[in-house]
Amino acid sequence: MSDGPKWMPSNEEIQEHNICPCDDCIAMRYRTGLRAQIAVLEEMQSHFNSPGGEWFGARRNEKGYVQDKIAALRKELE
């Protein structure tokens, strides 16, 4: 397995599913996109949770939106 961000497919998966239009390949690319979105939102969330981490003056409802979106993406990934 290749060393990369956990949301990225391994080099082996990429080679196996190279620009192929089959359903398995499309699903792999879709799951990769979901994992990438989760990674970005988790990074934003970690900033919310850091000391003094009011991200651009974000309010609680925006923080809740990020948490809800992460949960929805995780559910879709299952």
The per-residue pLDDT string of the chain (78 residues; one tens digit each, 9 = 90 and over) reads 456 667 666 767 766 666 677 777 777 777 888 889 999 999 888 777 666 656 555 566 677 888 899 999 999 888
Residues 6 or more apart whose CB falls under 8 angstroms from that of 62 comprise 55
Q: What is the pLDDT at residue 38? A: 92
Q: What is the pLDDT at residue 14? A: 66
Residues 6 or more apart whose CB falls under 8 angstroms from that of 52 comprise none
Q: What is the pLDDT at residue 74? A: 94
Domain ranges within the chain, ordered by starting residue: 11-77
